[in-house]
Amino acid sequence: MQNRLANNDHGQRKGQNVLLNDEVRMLRQVPMFAGIAPAKLKLLAFTSERVAFRAGDVLFRQGDDGNAAYVILEGRAKVLLNTPNGEIEVAEISENAIVGEIAILCDVARTATVRAVTTVEALQISKENFKKLLLDFPEMTLEVMRVLADRLIRTTAELTAARSKEQALH
């Protein structure tokens, strides 16, 4: 079960300003946030929720509503797809990765399940805050497009290789 390390009740944040500055530093390591002003990243960190998951915990499940994206601050997680033949791993993510943004951007259900491999600390960014950031920073929108295009290219190459292998067997 998810352990909430921070709480945004009444606009208050538990913890010290040091934690907030640490989160801003970590956000700057994420390529799509690298060009955003520190003051805006501080606001993003303040309005986000720091969450922790134990190894084996699920961040979200394929088919769930997409209400937030997660920036992995520490740890590793697997990206899994449910198929008729069972669950398959399609990627492993770690520090500075963002996951869950597709459901937010496309207003669709989660396209995959993400499960912690190790203890994971992440910033949970609400759908509303993520979309506002994209509107305020067009350069971030371009970076999101680049990240999604890279994923599509990689997925297409993997699919092509798998289909070629399958055809060779028949």
Residue located via tokens 């996951």: 99
Question: What does the mean pLDDT of the chain come to?
Answer: 85
Indicate the CATH number of 3-163 among 1.10.760.10, 3.30.930.10, 2.60.120.10, 3.40.47.10.
2.60.120.10
- pLDDT bin (cut points 50, 70, 90) of residue 38 is confident
Q: Please state the rounded mean pLDDT for residues 63-88.
A: 94
- Express each pLDDT in 86-116 by its tens digit: 999 999 999 999 999 888 888 899 999 999 9
Q: What's residue 12's pLDDT?
A: 42
Please give the share of the chain, as a percent, with pLDDT higher than 70: 89
Which of 29-33, 64-68, 136-140 has the largest mean confidence?
A: 64-68
Q: Please state the rounded mean pLDDT for residues 54-72.
A: 96
The Cα 26–Cα 169 span in angstroms is 46
Query: Token pair of 48, please?
Result: 């986000």
Q: Where are the domains of the chain?
A: 3-163
Angle at 111 between CA 107 and CA 114, to 5 degrees: 120
Residues 6+ apart with CB under 8 A from 123: 23, 26, 27, 45, 48, 49, 50, 51, 70, 71, 73
Q: Please state the rounded mean pLDDT for residues 15-22.
A: 68
The total of other beta-carbon atoms located within 10 Å of residue 29's CB is 12
